[in-house]
Amino acid sequence: MNKNPAPNIAVIKLSALGDIVHAVVILQFIKKHLPKAKITWFADAKFSEILFLCPQISRVVSLPLKNGEYKKSLELIASAKQEVKFDYVIDLQGLLKSAAVAKLLGKNSYGFDKFSVKEPLAALFYGHKFSCDYAQNIILRNLGLTAFALGFNVSEDEILAKQPCFSAQQSKFESSKKKILIAPFASEPSKIYDKFSDVVALLGDPQNEIFVCYNGEKEEKKALNLIKNSNAKTLNLSLKELVSFISSCDLVIGNDSGVTHIAWAQNRPSITLFGNRPAERNAYATPVNLTIDAGKKIDAKKIDKSDFCVRDIAPQTIANAAKRLLDA
């Protein structure tokens, strides 16, 4: 354990939503071992909104990198460094741009070694390097690097017993029925399962209330088409409202996306569907957080975005798993 009981810690996880959702679990373990730590999180402005729902974070620095505003981003990094001397800088991303941010923030930086990341050159920027198989589960990778940097250990039992990662309000959608959320969209077409309408039909029991979330006009049309022959309802919420909604759900079913992963973060039952991504790496399975994949062996460093094998999953397989969770 490090000797400073109240260190200033910079955490870097720039993007995307799902990756940030998988990373915030580190916060409660930092606070468990270093209750007085002050944590500053650096994220891309496009994805930083959800971090304001993490009470353990002292400050969120939103960098407009995706907008190409590099000068503004450098100014924000310089300002943060001027205000706080960071005792630890932890880069959970392992990309060149995140490693560059780490380098700018301080010398006592921690990241993955060159064998443990997609962009090996990133490792050149770190003062301390952590070795971890790139194929290892992402939650274990994030916690492993954090624990290495700060000098503590985390057991899998502790992960299973974790607290919800985001603060949530009481949902406006209270129901006496089993509340199911379908999250049918994702950032990449090859991640999107195309038979959710069949899943909705198979779960169309009167005791279930099914919602399909969407964001934007394009997704709305697809969501309405998905539910047209059912009693399911569409749902368009802000990210903050969606976190609260998910926190009150009996089950979330979705693609490998940030929205689906929020269910795991909030300790709610979920089924995450995988095709061309490795399920054992990209989701942390528990008795109530299941994954279903297309049965392919996937190399995490060689993703084929033209592979739509997620569509090979049978709707009945998903419905059967859903019924087991709902009846538990």
Query: How does pLDDT run across 151-163, given as a tens digit for each residue?
Result: 999 999 999 999 9
CA 307 to chain centre: 22
Query: What distances in angstroms separate CA 14 from CA 49, 50, 160, one per listed residue?
Result: 12, 12, 26
Q: Summarize the confidence of residues 234-238 as an average pLDDT.
A: 97
Q: Write the DSSP assignment of 258-316 as a string of letters.
A: HHHHHHHHTT--EEEEESSS-HHHHS---SSEEEEE-S----TTS--TT--GGGGS-HH
Strands 128-130 and 57-63 turn out to be unpaired
What would you report as the CA-atom Rg of the chain, rounded to the nearest whole angstrom?
Answer: 20
Structural domain boundaries in the chain:
8-160, 178-327
Cβ-count burial of 273 within 10 angstroms (0-12 exposed, 13-18 middle, 19+ buried)? Answer: buried
The Cα 120–Cα 74 span in angstroms is: 23
CATH hierarchy code of domain 8-160: 3.40.50.2000
The Cα 267–Cα 271 span in angstroms is: 12
Query: How does pLDDT run across 3-28, given as a tens digit for each residue?
Result: 688 999 999 999 999 999 999 999 99
Q: Which tokens belong to 114?
A: 């060159």
Q: Summarize the confidence of residues 238-261 as an average pLDDT.
A: 98
Length of the chain: 328
pLDDT higher than threshold 80 for residue 91: yes
pLDDT confidence band for 172 (50 / 70 / 90)? confident
Predicted model pTM: 0.96
Check: CB of residue 130 under 8 Å from CB of residue 109: no
The Cα 33–Cα 28 span in angstroms is: 9
Same fold yes or no, 8-160 and 178-327: yes
CATH hierarchy code of domain 178-327: 3.40.50.2000
Strands 88-91 and 8-12 turn out to be parallel
Beta bridge partners of 274: 293
pLDDT confidence band for 164 (50 / 70 / 90)? very high
CA 226 to chain centre: 25
Check: CB of residue 252 under 8 Å from CB of residue 272: no
Check: CB of residue 211 under 8 Å from CB of residue 184: no
Query: How does pLDDT run across 274-290, given as a tens digit for each residue?
Result: 999 999 999 999 999 99
Nearest to 32 by CA among 150, 112, 148: 150
